[in-house]
Amino acid sequence: MNEMLDLKLVLLRGESQGPIEMDGLGRSSRLRMQLQKKSELSDRLAVNLLGLIADGRLAPGARIPPERQIAETLSVSRICVRSALDRLKENGYIESVQGAGTRVVRSSEKLDQLYAANLENVNDLGNFCAYLDEFLAEWVDLSEQAAEVAAILQPLLGVARSSRRFDPETEYRVRCQLARASRSPGLELLLRRMARGYRCYYNSVPPIDRIADQLAEAAGAMVVAARAGDKAALVLAMRDYNRIIRTAVIAGAGGPARRAADTDLVLRELSAHQPEKLSDIIAREIAGMLARAEGREEDVLIGERRLADVFGVSRVSIRHALQKLKEDGIVTSRERFWTRAAKGDEEAVREARDCFDASVREFKLLCNLRHFQEVWAARRAARHASEKDKADLRRILAEMRRPIDSLDRSIDLDLNLHLTIARSAGSALHFFVNEVLRGTVTNYFVYTLKHPDLRGPREVLLKQHEAIVSAILAGDEDGARDAMERHVRFFQNNYDAYMVRSSAA
């Protein structure tokens, strides 16, 4: 199952490697990060082509634009393009045509697997996008932003009235603007990183001739509800809008949408943003570690050699990242091999971290997101967990039962257990959201498990974890769902009670 999950993750990420190594989950050792170290340009290009094949815009037998044309459009070398094409050839997705460049293979087991992976992603995205729409509606403040939200939603009504084609870019842009209006850094981050996922889902919507009037009615109801400041009516209208889209997607399911794209469209789709430099990614991760007080010995950041081992990169990459942080005033040099957080510059560290702000509102937002994700994953894990997944869950639970002196060790095991459940669920989307919010989720675990008023007795948490794992091992979907529901609700209730006591003090 991991091979299929890997393929689904590649389509969502837009690159072949992510920050959490699935095969490393379930072990008792500390989770090790992994970063994109392959040639980023050729990797991104290969995955973008793969996405076009997966959703049918490059249909079986379709010609790939010439190597030279792709290179000129993307301002990259032909060697980079050739590397991407060779990779897809090696994996059996495209083939050379004598004297005529390359084309998508007409049929193969690999192609069928790719279509199946894309279809599973589309199904999961449909549920999650509908959930996020209602979530966004709940988190905007209509008492102050009624006119703003109505204006944001207006383009959906315009497209439904004037076009026979669904417009994925308008749909995604509206969600990004709603996330911005929610004033939640966490939601903005999630929406930015889910760009490929949203486009994957909305690109699966067939021509809307038959449903245009229904969409226009639902979009109009959304605009009216927002303008009136009626949040309940807005949520219901959004639910109706998504139901119409979902019904159309399901009706057209069963394979890729055969809507061949011309060369210009393919080239536009391939003109993706340049990937981040490896040193920039590492710099952001180190800044997050500093913000969470990880990776330090007192005020001193751990050495280059150990950082290189943590991130699985060369010391040169670590040195470049530290130099960038030094230029930003986040760290300062100390002696020859060490750096430390710059004293008096805590604000810079806070701004650099890749996580939610520790406000009450943001914490509640993360609780709600985690609630939905974890409960859904536990139920699916009970149905889909492999024997390896079950063995890993047993191994982690056995480790949890042993005496643990270090609270950090408990946190690592807890996070490992939940990520293993995510892998067991077989949903790339759930795992991807965990990757996107990895720093945030880690902060959630650190905060809730280190706060004495939130974590509760160790024995209580252990019993909750045992109930979740037992239900998954037994294949009891409802039992796994209910056990996880009680677990995440436990922390939310503790937090609410803590805030009441704090405000009364």
- Domains in the chain: how many in total? 4
- What pLDDT was estimated at residue 328? 67
Q: Does the residue 269 lie in any domain?
A: no
- The residue ranking higher by pLDDT, 350 or 8, is 8
Task: Look at residues 333, 352, 371 and tell me which one is the last residue of a structural domain.
Answer: 352
- Whether 497 and 378 map to the same domain: the answer is yes
pLDDT score at 43: 84
Residue 357 pLDDT exceeds 50: no
Query: Could you tell me if 128 and 221 lie in one domain?
Result: yes
For residue range 218-253, what is the model confidence (pLDDT) as tens digits?
A: 999 999 999 999 999 999 999 999 999 999 888 876
pLDDT tens for residues 143-175? 999 999 999 999 999 888 886 677 888 999 999
More confident: 484 or 3: 484
If asked whether residues 104 and 130 sit together in one domain, one would say no
Say whether both 322 and 204 belong to one domain: no
Does 259 fall in a domain? no
Q: What CATH number did the domain enclosing 138 receive?
A: 1.20.120.530
**Closest residue by Cα to residue 385 from 279, 473, 260:** 473
Q: Which structural domain range is residue 69 located in? A: 2-110
Mean pLDDT within 403-414: 82
Q: Lowest-pLDDT range, 220-224, 262-266, 416-420?
A: 262-266
**Which pLDDT band, with edges at 50, 70 and 90, does 291 fall under?**
low
Q: Are residues 189 and 237 in the same domain?
A: yes
* Whole-angstrom distance, CA of residue 49 vs CA of residue 19: 22
pLDDT at 32: 55
DSSP string over 205-259 = ----TTTHHHHHHHHHHHHHHHHHT-HHHHHHHHHHHHHHHHHHHHHT-SS----
| Short-list 455, 454, 456, 480, CA closest to 469 | 480
pLDDT at 98 over 70: yes
Query: At residue 470, does pLDDT exceed 70?
Result: yes
Does pTM top 0.85 for this prediction? no
Residues 331 and 387 in one domain: no
* Domain termination residue (choose one: 352, 383, 414): 352
Q: With respect to residue 188, please indicate whether it lies within any of the assigned structural domains.
A: yes
Is 258 inside a domain boundary? no
- Percent of the chain at pLDDT above 70? 80
Q: What is the pLDDT of residue 272?
A: 53
What is the tens place of the pLDDT at every residue in 55-93?
Answer: 888 999 999 999 999 988 887 788 889 999 999 999 999
Rounded to whole angstroms, what are the CA distances from 241 to 17, 236, 245, 246, 252?
A: 34, 9, 7, 9, 17
Q: What's the CATH number where 18 sits?
A: 1.10.10.10
Range of weakest confidence among 277-281, 325-329, 348-352, 379-383: 348-352
pLDDT over 70 at 336, yes or no: no
In terms of domains, do 60 and 138 share one? no
Burial class of residue 4 in the structure, from the number of CB atoms within 10 Å of its CB (0-12 exposed, 13-18 middle, 19+ buried): middle
233/310 same-domain check: no
- Which residue would you say has higher pLDDT here, 102 or 341? 102
Contact call for residues 1 and 386 (beta carbons, < 8 A): yes
Are 61 and 41 in a shared domain?
yes
Q: What is the pLDDT of residue 355?
A: 40
Structure-block tokens of residue 378? 């536990």
Count of C-beta atoms within a 10 Å radius of residue 68: 11
Instruction: Return the H-helix or E-strand segment holding 478.
Output: helix 477-504
What integer pLDDT is reported at residue 27 of this predicted model?
62
pLDDT of residue 463: 95
Domain-located, residue 368:
yes
| Co-location of 348 and 403 in the same domain | no
Q: Is residue 268 part of a domain?
A: no
Residues of the chain above pLDDT 90, percent: 38
The average confidence (pLDDT) of the chain is: 81
Buried b (16+ CB within 10 A) or exposed e, 77-99: eeebbebbbebbeeeebbeeeee
pLDDT band, very low/low/confident/very high, at 349 (cuts 50, 70, 90): very low
Q: Is the pLDDT of residue 358 over 60?
A: no
Residues 6+ apart with CB under 8 A from 356: 185, 186, 362, 363, 365, 366, 440, 443
**Position 107: which residue type?**
S
| pLDDT given at position 482 | 97
Crossing angle, helix 142-162 and helix 212-228, to 10 degrees? 160
Query: Are residue 106 and residue 142 in the same domain, yes or no?
Result: no
Domain boundary among 352, 385, 405: 352
Say whether both 379 and 493 belong to one domain. yes
Whether residue 228 is contained in a domain is answered as yes
User: Contact 472/484 with Cβ under 8 angstroms?
Assistant: no
Q: Mind listing the pLDDT tens digit for each residue in 10-47?
A: 898 887 766 566 666 666 555 555 554 445 678 888 99
Indicate whether 392 belongs to any domain: yes
Res 259: pLDDT: 56
Bigger pLDDT: 367 vs 386: 386
